[in-house]
Amino acid sequence: MATYRFKIGDFDCISMDDDPTVRDALPSFPNAPPDEFEAALRAYNLEPGAVPFSMNILLVKTPEHRVLIDTGMGADRNYTLLTNLKSEGIEPGDVDVIFITHGHGDHFGGIADKDGALLFPNARFLMWKGEWEYWTSEATLSTFDESRAAGIRRNLLPLKDKIELIDKEGEFVPGISAVPAWGHTPYHTAIMVTSNGQRLLHIVDAFHQPYQAEHPEWSHRGDSNREIAEATRRSILKRAADEKLLVMAYHIPNPGLGYVTEKDGVWTWLRY
């Protein structure tokens, strides 16, 4: 399994791929015209029928904390995250903060085991308030098929009495902030890591593939609101280019790190 270590200032970071796969990409971008889509992929040397896709879980070690951003697929992938953490010398009990960026199963699936027991016994859990309320409401759950609803009941509902819900941008541990990035889901949240003058903007699922830099209008089929998701992508791409930020994306091939450049009004993803 791919894991990649890097530093942001004084913080040690690890990007751990929970589920590397190769996919036919076009069906995932329903509003992309097929001929333009193929040309956009070729510009990144990608084969449209075989695009690498990762699930990059970020661990940040600060002087005081072991912080996980999302938990991957859990039982559905035989708890790859736990294996990856162990190979880095980290036991589940060492993780003391877990931020869940949004209510999709590939991000929260590793919170609990198959029987609903929490896998990280010492962790505080955090999530954006509106995101938690949307995904855990009976009104939402009643619209899902059994397995999707079961994933939420097994992983999120056991946190009901302990989850810390936030509703404004800001630090939740020193040097790590929640940043609104709505659209992929109602209150999908990005993460900014700052230490000793260096910054990492983890955009999670605000975009899924590098060619969305040139085409922020192409929405992933998982985007719950395409207009808001596109506006978020544009503002993130502009900010990343203007501020020369190191960017991380959950589904871009591991480690999912890169920079955004802008030329004549067109953004491009530059692999780190």
Would you state the structure tokens that stand for residue 38, as one six-digit string? 């193929």
Q: Is 70 a residue that touches Zn ion (CB under 5 A)?
A: no
Instruction: Closer to Zn ion by CB, 11 or 132: give it.
Output: 132
Instruction: Closer to Zn ion by CB, 131 or 205: give it.
Output: 205
Task: Tell me which stretch binds Zn ion (CB under 5 A): 8-16, 110-118, 126-134, 205-213.
Answer: 205-213
Q: Is 19 a residue that touches Zn ion (CB under 5 A)?
A: no
Smallest separation, CB 14 to Zn ion (Å): 18
Task: Tell me which stretch binds Zn ion (CB under 5 A): 10-18, 64-72, 128-136, 204-212.
Answer: 204-212
Q: How far apart are CA 268 and CA 261, in angstroms?
A: 5
Smallest separation, CB 39 to Zn ion (Å): 25
Instruction: Closer to Zn ion by CB, 61 or 251: give it.
Output: 251
Q: Is 17 a residue that touches Zn ion (CB under 5 A)?
A: no
Q: How far apart are CA 6 and CA 250, in angstroms?
A: 16
Instruction: Closer to Zn ion by CB, 106 or 214: give it.
Output: 106
Smallest separation, CB 76 to Zn ion (Å): 13
Q: Is 106 a residue that touches Zn ion (CB under 5 A)?
A: yes
Smallest separation, CB 257 to Zn ion (Å): 17
Smallest separation, CB 161 to Zn ion (Å): 27
Instruction: Closer to Zn ion by CB, 65 or 77: give it.
Output: 77
- Using the structure block, give the residue that is written with the tokens 């902030």: 177
Interface residue with Zn ion, options 18, 205, 214, 230 (CB under 5 A): 205
Q: Is 131 a residue that touches Zn ion (CB under 5 A)?
A: no
CA–CA distances in Å: residue 95 to residues 71, 84, 91, 256: 11, 13, 7, 22
Interface residues toward Zn ion, by CB under 5 A:
106, 205
